[in-house]
Structure 1
Amino acid sequence: MLYHLYELNQAALHPARATAEAYRLMWRNPLNPASRTALGRGAAAALELFERSTRRYRKPAWGIDTVEVDGREVGVVLRTVLSKPFCNLVHFERDLMGSRRRKDPKVLVVAPMAGHFATLLRGTVRDLLPDHDVYVTEWQDARFVPRAAGAFDLDVYIDYITEFLRAFEGDVHIMAVCQPTVPVFAAVSLMEAQKDRAVPRSMTLMAGPIDARQSPTAVNRFADGKPLSWFRQHVITQVPWPYPGMMRLVYPGFFQLSGFMGMNIDRHLTAHRDLFHNLIRGDGDSADKHREFYDEFLAVMDLTAEYYLQTIETVFLDYKLPKGEMRHRGTPVDPSKVKRVALMTVEGEKDDISGIGQTEAAQTLCSKLSDGLRAHHLQPGVGHYGVFNGSRFRSDILPEIRRFIRAHQRRKSALGRALSRVA
């Protein structure tokens, strides 16, 4: 019923949004003398603010068409190399004909499945591309996946990661950002326990809740303060007609967005007030930056109910992974089995979603991993998003990740050559 009411509200607002956009164009039209007056600029700014505040934002485009490699611009083409009902494995293929960089390390970036689309990592991918061959998991919006495709829970998520890793046959470095640190860590642990030869060369876990008991944030306290039944009763609803996923039980994206906005409501109100004033002043650069950020931030996707509830229970209520109680289809997830895969953990000093120590806990859980295969980086002065995006990521964090990946690219290659000689 909640989803139906939301859709009815969106439909009711559509004529008002269309009218607002039409009048905005009228007030902004250079042929209209009033467009150069304070009244005209104020009216256009108010109408744009209304339209943007009531709009439903769709999945953004990646917008990565070129990248600079070795001082020259090369084209980038997105290709889907594996397609699953709930996820596509996308390759950012660089046009490197004649370049010596064809041996760049392959990096599988596992995007968060926590309400936003994978394009939230646009900056991360763009910064990785000059020195890495990048693949990304592009998770699908559950409201567009028919019920006939079956269920998707944390176990299926781990299955997907395992299948994607096996497609690379061991020649890949995996990077998990935020939420996927838990399923990625679990998948690698299970593969190590099975002595799977397709384990990645290295694993980089960034700003994720491996052990949510460490430095609990407002997000952790909110989840921990309620029983699982509360989430099932209050935030799970059915996808309405006419979406392909009609009648699928989901945690709607608009609920997640409400939570994101509520955490920093003053900041968002100030940002929209500043947009209004920048539009009146004609500060197009500042207005464009606002639009770029909020076009991404306000675009959200639905999560399947079974995945959301299992994640809440496993990660935030029962802390099953750090307690040694997590299972995947009945098989224990034992991080102490990780011996071959190099591990790097990255945290932000001011992270208000995954507190300090939550990601680094993976280092303790990998009790049998040698010191030479470990690295940890705590970045001063950055919050959650700054761990994987922005100027501090480019200047301080990415160089550390690049060195870590290069070191273990060489290590495993040398080991493989040595084993070949022995054979």
Structure 2
Amino acid sequence: MLYTLYEAGYYAASPLRWAALAARDFWSSPLNPAAESDLGRRIYATSDLFANLTRRYGKPDWKIDKVKINGRDVRVRAQEVWSTPWCKLIHFDRDMSDLRRAGKTELEPAVLIAAPLSGHYATLLRGTVEAFLQDHEVFITEWTNARDVPLMEGRFDFHDYIDHIREMLRQMGPRPHVVAVCQPGPPVLAAAALMADDREESRPASMTFMGSPIDARLSPTVTNKLAEDRPFAWFESNMIYNVPPPYLGAGRRVYPGFVQLASFMSMNLEKHQEAHRQYLADLMKGDGDETEKHLEFYDEYLSVLDLTEEFYLQTVDVVFQRHLLPKGELEHRGRKVRPERITDIGLLTVEGENDDISGIGQTQAAHKLCLSLPVDLKEDYIQPHVGHYGVFNGRRFREEIYPRVRAFIRRMEAEIPHLRARPASAEVVPLRSAQS
């Protein structure tokens, strides 16, 4: 019912939104002699703000058509190389002639960036992709909005996510690298453990977990406490709704993106309110640079997707309530997931000092689970002065975190010939730690 009311509210506001757009265009027209008056600027700014607050935010474009490498522009083309109704594997194909001119003559490591399926589109990692494109063949998981998948396509749950990661790694060839950003940590670790257990040729050469809830019992945040304090039945009763027509997935039970967005924004409500007040003030004084920054951020932040009922509820149950992976109790398709069977996959964990989503220690827990990995294949890093978003985006990510990830991947690439010969009974030694 809530989903239907949400849609009804959107369409009910349409006449007001159209009126606001007309007013905005009228009061910003160079043909309007009163456009630069104080009253004109106020009406223009208010109309623009109202139109932006009530409009529909669709899936953003990647907007990555080139990347700067060694001071030269290298053309980039995002292309789909594999897909299911639930996900597309996107390869950011860099132009070979441009790469040669930029001094890149050798084959570079292939990296799968596992984007979170937690409300936002994969384009939230645009900055992450741009950084990795400087030194890697980059692939990313582009998850589908559940409301756009017809009921006839069946279900998609936590275990389907694991299967998708395994298949995408296979599509990339032998020994790719995988970077899991936030939510994908547990299913990516599970996929790597299963592939290692089977000695698959396409098992990762390294896995990097960034701000991931591998063990949500450690340093619990507000998000973790909410999941633990509420009974499972509460999430079933209060967070799941039917997709209404005219969407292709009409009738599908989902955790709506707008509900998740409300949760995100409520955690920093005053900050978002102040951002919009400042946006209004910048519009009135004609500060185009600041308003563009605001629009660029919120165009991405307010674009959300729905999650299937079964994926959302299983994630709450498996990751945040029963903690099956860190307790050694996770089973996949009737088979025990055993991270201790990982012997030749490098492990890097990255956390933010001020992360209010995945507290310090939750990502580091991966090291305790991978008991058979020797110290030379393990690294841990805590980035000072950043929150959750700063772990994978922004200046500190580009300047301090990404270079460490790049160096780790390069080191694991050099280790691969030795990894193939490493015995399964490799000696277990303490974790190597790096921290500024």
Partner of 1:341: 345
Q: Does 1:376 align with 2:380?
A: yes
Whole-angstrom distance in 1 between the partners of 2:96 and 2:381: 32
Partner of 2:50: 50
Cα shift at 1:63: 0.3
Amino acid at match of 1:228: F
Which runs of no fewer than 5 residues in structure 2 stay unpaired?
A: 423-436
Partner of 2:22: 22
How big is each residue's C-alpha offset from its partner over 1:65-116, in whole Å with a ceiling of 9 and x where there is no partner?
A: 0111232111110110001110000000000226134511111000000000
1:99-114 correspondence runs (5 A): 99=100, 100-114=104-118
Q: Does 1:125 align with 2:129?
A: yes
1:208-357 correspondence runs (5 A): 208-357=212-361
How big is each residue's C-alpha offset from its partner over 1:369-422, in whole Å with a ceiling of 9 and x where there is no partner?
A: 10000011100000000000000001100010010001111211465699xxxx
Q: The residue matched to 2:140 in structure 1 has which SS?
A: strand
The answer as to whether partners of 2:175 and 2:201 remain within 8 angstroms in 1 is: no
Whole-angstrom distance in 2 between the partners of 1:346 and 1:327: 26
The answer as to whether partners of 1:96 and 1:102 remain within 8 angstroms in 2 is: no
The answer as to whether partners of 1:169 and 1:199 remain within 8 angstroms in 2 is: no
Amino acid at match of 2:280: F
1:171 corresponds, among 169, 175, 190, to 175
Whole-angstrom distance in 1 between the partners of 2:281 and 2:323: 46
- Which is worse superposed, 409-418 or 375-384? 409-418
1:166-205 correspondence runs (5 A): 166-205=170-209
**How many residues end up aligned between the 2 structures?**
419
Q: Does 1:74 align with 2:74?
A: yes
Whole-angstrom distance in 2 between the partners of 1:71 and 1:261: 38
The answer as to whether partners of 1:238 and 1:250 remain within 8 angstroms in 2 is: yes
- Which is worse superposed, 232-241 or 406-415? 406-415
Whole-angstrom distance in 2 between the partners of 1:271 and 1:277: 10
Runs of 4+ with deviation above 3 angstroms: 413-418
Partner of 1:160: 164
Whole-angstrom distance in 2 between the partners of 1:417 and 1:104: 23
Partner of 2:426: none
Whole-angstrom distance in 2 between the partners of 1:16 and 1:389: 36
Using the size of structure 2 for normalisation, the TM-score is 0.94
Cα shift at 1:18: 1.1
Partner of 1:421: none
Computed over aligned residues only, the root mean square deviation of the Cα atoms, in angstroms, reads 1.4
The answer as to whether partners of 1:112 and 1:177 remain within 8 angstroms in 2 is: yes
The answer as to whether partners of 2:68 and 2:74 remain within 8 angstroms in 1 is: yes
Which runs of no fewer than 5 residues in structure 1 stay unpaired?
A: 419-423
1:398 corresponds, among 398, 402, 416, to 402
Q: Does 1:90 align with 2:90?
A: yes
Amino acid at match of 1:350: N
Partner of 2:60: 60
Whole-angstrom distance in 2 between the partners of 1:304 and 1:260: 19
Amino acid at match of 1:338: I
Whole-angstrom distance in 2 between the partners of 1:181 and 1:226: 23
How big is each residue's C-alpha offset from its partner over 1:137-185, in whole Å with a ceiling of 9 and x where there is no partner?
A: 0000000011111100001000000111112232311000000011100
User: Which has the larger helix fraction?
Assistant: 1
Amino acid at match of 1:88: K
Partner of 1:38: 38
Whole-angstrom distance in 2 between the partners of 1:349 and 1:194: 36
Cα shift at 1:28: 0.7
How big is each residue's C-alpha offset from its partner over 1:284-309, in whole Å with a ceiling of 9 and x where there is no partner?
A: 11110000000000000000000000
How big is each residue's C-alpha offset from its partner over 1:220-262, in whole Å with a ceiling of 9 and x where there is no partner?
A: 0111111111000111011111111010110000100000010
Whole-angstrom distance in 1 between the partners of 2:419 and 2:148: 45
Cα shift at 1:355: 0.3
**Cα 1:370–1:291 shift into 2, 3 Å:** same
How big is each residue's C-alpha offset from its partner over 1:350-373, in whole Å with a ceiling of 9 and x where there is no partner?
A: 000000000000011111110000
